[in-house]
Amino acid sequence: MSSSTSSSSRKTALYTILIAAVTLLPAMGLVNWLTRSAENNAGDIFGIQRIRSVTNALDYMAATEGNTALFIGSSLVKDGFSPRIFDQAVKAANGARVTSFNVGMGNMKPTYQKLLVQRMAEAYAGQHSKARLTLLEFNP
């Protein structure tokens, strides 16, 4: 291999890397910008707001006085369980007052549930309290 061929190959490689960087870096920036814009402007498109609202409410749930019930699961729980209706039904059935929480999230995988339940246990331990009832919907 001659030195001119080696120099030519090196220039081609550097030119290829330069073109890739000039093309890929703006594309990556555009994808990040579009994702961030969608998250901020399109509602709960990725479920991020739901996750944040649940994790921000953990201490509130743990500090709630009286009988509490936690319903944890996927979008089946999120969209299908109404704490207001449940609380009213329990009160109508036996006069007991209960405060229930809907902790359902879309695309809830078992590994996510495990992490969420661990965070909830830490929040309740920090408040030295326990939920009276915890129902976990498990959907692999």
Average pLDDT over the chain, rounded to an integer: 87
Contact 137, 73 (CB under 8 A): yes
- Residue 64 CB burial class (10 angstroms; 0-12, 13-18, ≥19): middle
Quick one: average pLDDT of 64-93? 95
In this model, does residue 131 exceed pLDDT 70? yes
* DSSP labels, 42-55: SSSTTSHHHHHHHH
Pairwise pLDDT comparison (85 vs 106), residue with the higher score:
85
Q: Which residues contact 95 (CB under 8 A, 6 or more apart)?
A: none
In this model, does residue 43 exceed pLDDT 80? no
In this model, does residue 44 exceed pLDDT 90? no
Contact 104, 72 (CB under 8 A): yes
The whole-number pLDDT of residue 4 equals 62
Contact 101, 136 (CB under 8 A): no
